[in-house]
């Protein structure tokens, strides 16, 4: 079957996989990530409810920030994985929603990982696996419930979150149901078209690596509830990727919901996690109360 993206010429394909093609100035949103994340971290540090730069691996990039709720005994942990097409951003711009989760009585972790091209895509996936495994082993130390770990991610972070459901967790001495739920925001789940775009100038995937790291093209190894969403102001290909993942998950009998969120684009949709009354925030909170 001919893939839809095969009908695009190179210019069209690059535009479809360029989220910034839908906004006037991407820097407005990136600056807001910085501002809101700085404020969230400052607030948490002021009351001694944040552990910064915890190292989960051997390299300087393998770190995370962990935000603690006021009542921390046996609370669930929510892990946020940042986007940036695997080649930009860090944990330092990714903790903007931390205070909201703390206020709901949850732990919140913002992950850092080595960026491409310093690390291959497969290497980045493995780093995220190591981060989750490390957190699992540290549950008693920090007080969260290791049997209630949830993930969210935006864009490339959504891809990485879904890849965690492809992981053989026994290789990390974890149970295969270590992840209890995923929220995937404006993600890419079939990397074959990405391998043909400008994005791959930095990521440098070959066809085999793109296929191997496409969660939409393989059966889910570790089923759990999944939340999908994208903004109404996104390209057709980003919407198609989530729409097709929805059907793929349904065929595997995995509990899944999808919402197109009005008046949001690829970059500001994550701010829906800041408010407790948005569809996305309520879905995440409901998911975290489900176990």
Tell me: the pLDDT tens digits for 139-171? 999 999 999 999 999 999 999 999 999 999 999
Tell me: the pLDDT tens digits for 189-241? 999 999 999 999 999 999 999 999 999 999 999 999 999 999 999 999 999 99
The predicted model scores a pTM of 0.97
Rounded mean pLDDT, 6-31: 95
pLDDT mean across residues, the chain? 96
pLDDT of 2 > 60? The answer is no
Report CA-CA distances (Å) from 264 to 27, 186, 201, 217, 261.
16, 11, 28, 28, 6
The DSSP letter of residue 28 is: H
Confidence label for 3 from pLDDT (cuts 50, 70 and 90): low
Buried b vs exposed e over 63-90: b needs ≥16 C-beta within 10 Å? bbbbbbbeeeeebbbbbbbbbbbbbebb
Predicted confidence at residue 1, as pLDDT, reads: 35
The closest of 236, 233, 240, 235 to 258, measured between CA atoms, is 240
The closest of 177, 170, 166 to 219, measured between CA atoms, is 166
Predicted confidence at residue 72, as pLDDT, reads: 63
Portion of the chain with pLDDT greater than 70, in percent: 98
Portion of the chain with pLDDT greater than 90, in percent: 95
pLDDT of 290 > 90? The answer is no
Beta strand 226-233 pairing with 75-81: unpaired
Rounded mean pLDDT, 97-103: 97
Which structural domains are found in the chain, ordered by start? 4-288 (3.40.50.1820)
């Amino acid at each position: 079957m001919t893939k839809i993206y095969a009908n695009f010429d190179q210019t069209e394909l690059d535009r479809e996989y360029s989220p910034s093609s839908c906004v006037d100035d991407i820097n407005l949103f990136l600056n807001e990530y910085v501002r809101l994340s700085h404020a969230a971290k400052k607030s948490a540090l002021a009351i001694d409810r944040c552990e910064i730069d915890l190292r989960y691996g051997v390299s300087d990039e393998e770190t995370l920030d962990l935000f603690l709720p006021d009542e921390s005994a046996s609370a669930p942990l929510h892990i946020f994985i940042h986007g940036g097409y695997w080649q930009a951003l860090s944990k330092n711009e990714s903790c903007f929603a931390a205070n909201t989760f703390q206020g709901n009585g949850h732990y919140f972790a913002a992950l850092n990982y080595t960026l491409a091209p310093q690390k291959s895509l497969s290497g980045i996936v493995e780093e995220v696996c190591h981060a989750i495994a490390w957190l699992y082993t540290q549950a008693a130390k920090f007080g969260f419930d290791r049997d209630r770990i949830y993930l969210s991610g935006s864009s490339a972070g959504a891809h990485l979150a879904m890849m965690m459901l492809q992981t053989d967790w026994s290789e990390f001495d974890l149970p295969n149901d270590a992840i209890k739920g995923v929220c995937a925001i404006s993600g890419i789940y079939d990397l074959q078209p990405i391998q043909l775009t400008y994005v791959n100038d930095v990521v440098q995937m070959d066809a085999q690596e793109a296929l191997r790291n496409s969660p939409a093209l393989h059966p889910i190894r570790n089923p759990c509830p999944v939340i999908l969403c994208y903004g109404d102001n996104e390209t057709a290909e980003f919407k198609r990727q989530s729409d097709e993942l929805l059907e793929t998950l349904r065929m595997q009998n995995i509990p899944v919901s999808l919402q197109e969120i009005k008046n949001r684009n690829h970059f500001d949709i994550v701010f829906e996690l800041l408010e407790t009354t948005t569809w996305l925030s309520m879905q995440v909170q409901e998911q975290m109360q489900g176990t």
